[in-house]
Chains A and B, each alone.
Chain A
């Protein structure tokens, strides 16, 4: 049991957990036909239940998972997992039907019309009753939390945002607040709103499909499952006092120390690679980082337009393509920045602390 816990603690290191989830994500989409089989889903669900049951015996795990406000996170993870499976399963079935020259499940039923009363109304009625019963049982079993009265002089450690914002709080580890807390959330909203205007693909409108919309679905699933849900999971279960990382079964030790060894790019460039001192002129000092950032944001789009995204560019035209690719690169910058941090302890690419401008 102890070895098992140590293995899990090791695997839930954020670096390994995120790499694992990306690998699982890729495997899930590459072997989509295998993973959408009911038997595989049942096996996966059974394994998760066993794992969750065993974990409940661990007091440190129980401390976090039994916190009343964390219960919805467990529910969310279960529901997101189930519905991802359901949606992708229907997509695979539809793809197979279309390959065989048949109509999709939705199209087969689209010509038939049913009366709202009773066909739709009774579904709504049942859903409302089940939802009400569920909420009432949940409310009877679990009291809403109420801690000590608010006290501005006593900061709890760790101080956590509400659970649905923990992905954003986790981003603070890798980005300055102006990016993690303002720019990226804003771009998430703008990016989501812009989705319909970017997607030039007329297929897959009103039915589940994977084959016809691989790029759109992969991007969305990556953002939702990895960058949103997994980061919330990490922020809830794996971040303890001082926002230090703790394994799933590790005790939250306030005294745990983690060495701060992060280094800015300017130091890498001027001190370590060129073996000199950092220039005193801030602009010159940050030149390497500025060049890298500018290259990423301004040089990469035209290169992508000429190579991998040639088709998109032709379909979308320069303006739509550039806005889309900007948002896409901003989203991709998060995993890139995380990888840079883990591999090279890179703190900032560009750092003007005197202007609160760090990237």
Chain B
């Protein structure tokens, strides 16, 4: 009886009632209301197919990907407090972060979370493929998902440069060297030599797509700043917008997939 008394004091007052507009979700009506009246929970319908909550069916990988994205956002914001994206300070700041923040695991959480997100997003796609969930009416949402997968890889890749150590610089050098070979747009790409006015080439090491990506001919201060902005603002924003579309379309296309 003590428990129900505590609950009574806790819930039967104007403050509680101003936040929660329903009673305890102990009957069907309030189980529906708890989902409908909560902005976060209303991402869900109020009822779902039983097959759709079966863990061996969904693997929960899409949900985990979204959760890890949130983890990355929170830890990423905390890391931004300590980090200056310049060739002069970047490495020192990361070093100082390890040395001066007691029990700090934010960078670890952020890095391992990033790796985990790449894995969960692959597995999510894998599950969606194996269950044929890209088939009508979900074709468009599969497309949004593919773009989100690419954005996840790009997020991870741009973040890889930020510690500004040897690992970062050379992994990104190897990765961005590919852009040199872009047909027509890279200075070592097929067809680039054709784009010339007289003897003056239009596409050279100082004007090609790799230069645009790095803000210079090499992975240097310009690249660090560009990757930082892409990593912290541009790609997360794009991903957030597409995630909204993705989740909304899951609902509009009939919820978690199941046999028609």
Name A's B-contacting residues (CB within 8 A): 69, 71-72, 75-76, 79-80, 83-84, 86-88, 90-91, 104-121, 123-124, 127-128, 131-132, 135-136, 138-140, 142-152, 154-156, 159-165, 168-169, 176-178, 180-183, 189, 192-193, 195-197, 199, 202-209, 213, 216-217, 220, 224, 352, 355-357
Contact of A136 among B46, B109, B133 (CB under 8 A): B109
CB distance from B87 to the nearest CB of A (A): 8
Residues of B contacting A168 in the complex (Cβ-Cβ under 8 angstroms): 178
Quick check: A110 and B51 within 8 Å, CB to CB?
Answer: yes
B 136-167 contacts with A by CB, 8 A: 136, 138-139, 142-143, 146-147, 149-150, 153, 156-157, 160, 163-167
Contact of B111 among A88, A123, A144, A195 (CB under 8 A): A144
Additional pairs, 20, CB under 8 Å, beyond known A87-B130, A162-B157: A69-B167, A75-B116, A87-B127, A105-B57, A112-B50, A115-B47, A135-B112, A135-B113, A139-B109, A144-B107, A148-B165, A150-B168, A152-B218, A182-B186, A193-B147, A206-B258, A209-B132, A352-B190, A355-B191, A357-B190
Residues of A contacting B157 in the complex (Cβ-Cβ under 8 angstroms): 162, 165
Residues of B contacting A357 in the complex (Cβ-Cβ under 8 angstroms): 190-191
Known: A90-B56, A127-B60, A165-B157. A139 touches B167 (CB 8 A): no
Interface size counted on chain B using CB atoms at 8 A: 103
Quick check: A177 and B119 within 8 Å, CB to CB?
Answer: no
Distance of A247 Cα from B180 Cα, bound (Å): 31
| Chain A residue with the shortest CB-CB distance to B123 | A83
B238 within 8 A of A: no
Residues of A contacting B41 in the complex (Cβ-Cβ under 8 angstroms): 116-117, 121
Quick check: A205 and B193 within 8 Å, CB to CB?
Answer: no
Quick check: A220 and B129 within 8 Å, CB to CB?
Answer: yes
Quick check: B119 and A196 within 8 Å, CB to CB?
Answer: no
Chain A to chain B: the 7 pairs with minimum beta-carbon distance, closest first: A181-B178, A139-B108, A177-B181, A196-B139, A72-B115, A150-B169, A357-B190
Quick check: A87 and B168 within 8 Å, CB to CB?
Answer: no
1/0 per residue B23-58: CB within 8 Å of A? 001001001101100000100111111111111110
CB distance from A358 to the nearest CB of B (A): 8
Quick check: B167 and A147 within 8 Å, CB to CB?
Answer: yes
CB distance from A185 to the nearest CB of B (A): 8
Quick check: B130 and A107 within 8 Å, CB to CB?
Answer: no
Contact of A107 among B53, B192, B259 (CB under 8 A): B259
CB distance from A183 to the nearest CB of B (A): 8
B236 within 8 A of A: no
Quick check: A72 and B174 within 8 Å, CB to CB?
Answer: no
Quick check: B50 and A109 within 8 Å, CB to CB?
Answer: yes
B239 within 8 A of A: no
Quick check: A204 and B132 within 8 Å, CB to CB?
Answer: yes
Contact of A127 among B34, B64, B150, B179 (CB under 8 A): B64
Distance of A224 Cα from B133 Cα, bound (Å): 17
Quick check: B48 and A196 within 8 Å, CB to CB?
Answer: no
* Interface 9-residue window, one of B6-14, B90-98, B226-234, B242-250: B90-98
Distance of A107 Cα from B146 Cα, bound (Å): 27
CB distance from B249 to the nearest CB of A (A): 13
